[in-house]
Amino acid sequence: MKNRAGGYTLKQATCVLVFEAFLSNCGGAVASDPNALDDELGTTDEALTASDGGVTQVKVANGKACTADAGCRSGFCNPKTHLCRTPTAKDGFRNGTETDVDCGGAATNPRCAAGKTCATATDCGSAACGAATSEFAGKCLVAKSCGGGRGANNTCGLTHTDSCCASLPAPGGSYMRYQNPDLPATVSPFKLDKFEVTVGRVRTFLAAFGGNLRGKLNLPPGAGAHPLIPGSGWRSSFNMRLPGSMAEANMRYTTACAYGGVTSQWGAPTWSNTAGTNDDKPINCIDWYTLFALCAWEGGRMPTDAEWGFAAMGGDENRTFAWGNSEPYYPMDIGLVNAGIADPAWGYDLKFTVGGPYATRTDGAKHIAAVGTHTGNGKWGHADLSGSMLELMLDSGELVQGECVDCANIDWPDPPQVAGYPVEWAIMDGNDTWSNGATQPDGGRILRGGSWHPDHPVGNYYNFGNYPVWRTYFAAGGRCARD
């Protein structure tokens, strides 16, 4: 090695291979060459390869010139400066164990955002990496249920370019629930999914467990909890109400739907046993437990009544409808909302805005639109808060009275522990009468937002309180919230 005076020093070696000469000198001394591979001068040629003429190359230190990662001790040759540098998760390059630029790989690195390259689910902030057979192969997903396919990809919304799992922030603040000054509320900032849960997302969720959510999902107690509401997470007792097979799930969302699941009898189920043209429509006939489980599985939760109302009313703007205060009328507002709205020219007769103005016995889901395909969004961009589907809330049936600060009524009864789908749900409501959910084994929940059906007003001043959990319904679905 060259010394500061310009001479050469002797170097101890255990067994050294000297460039251009073979010398075995165990414990002896050898004269160093200024061009030797172990002199740490870091010449360009030395940094190119890991070996030269069969002689192992000593890689150069940080700050030395390089042309390839292999020439650096750190394993990273900065392509801009051509100097060896220690890779970091903020250097603007993919290096080290990273799967994309500055993310993925080692647990100490940031997780990758949606669309970034991943090797496993642990590389992604969503804990979901696209399967090799999907359109998102090797890419981080927005959420687990958006792994590809209609209604579970990036073709939702008005322009068919949004992720069907997109989630938008609501800033939090104070407002009057239901436009009622006796029901003031304050909510902390949160995220609410832009769209209602689609058929395609439910299909992805079920497929991940072969339909057997009851036996294989195994959500831990407390999953899907609101971070500011203790006791608001998943309970082990809820497992009994989840489907145990794809065959059971297929039945639940069609013929076993408590009301409106049989297409030939005025029903309108959006579900089909195989993927189809309805997969980008909102799921209906889904039960509260399965919706809760889906949201919790992908790291979300169900919204509280107070949060949902804040988004729908535009916070302290206290809007009557998600889009504002103007009443929708037929036909000028058919592009605004998926609902049954009044036609002033026909004596204020209520008409569908999708699939023709009137229904026939076998229309099925004809009058239900794909999610996000109407313009009446809320203040922060959330679609279909008015119309489309009545939406299930986290809350049990009775409103929290008086002032509400990040509140929810979570006084849910534990369901009866009888394995399998309660088939009586399909026959309890044969005459379309609604029982008070508070008196039923599974209790009641709050529904918000109106629906595609003319029976349901779309104003923010209205809800269905204590709606029976057993009464799965062709006009009820929901969406997830996130933190």
Residue-wise DSSP of 382-434: ---SSSS-EEEEEEESSPPPS-EES-----PPPPP--SS--GGGGTTTTT-PP
- Asked whether 147 and 136 are in contact (CB, 8 A), the reply is yes
Collect all residues with Cβ–Cβ distance below 8 Å to 222 and sequence separation of at least 6.
233, 234
Distance of CA 481 to CAs 131, 190, 363, Å?
Answer: 25, 7, 32
Give the three-class secondary structure for 237.
helix
Per-residue model confidence (pLDDT) at position 419: 62
pLDDT at 437: 81
- The rounded distance, in Å, linking the Cα atoms of 175 and 188 is 12
How large is the C-alpha radius of gyration of the chain?
Answer: 31
Domain coordinates in residue numbering, the chain: 167-322+376-482
CA 384 – CA 379 distance, rounded (Å):
12
Cα 81 to Cα 64: distance, rounded to the nearest angstrom: 10
Q: What is the pTM of this model?
A: 0.85
CATH topology of domain 167-322+376-482: paralog of FGE (formylglycine-generating enzyme) (3.90.1580)
Can you read off the two tokens belonging to residue 3? 């010394």
Q: Is residue 79 within 8 Å of residue 73, measured between CB atoms?
A: no
pLDDT at 471: 87
Ranges of the chain with pLDDT below 70:
1-57, 419-435
pLDDT in tens, 186-223: 999 999 999 999 999 999 999 999 999 999 999 999 99
Give residue 138's region: left, alpha or beta (phi > 0; psi -120 to 50).
left
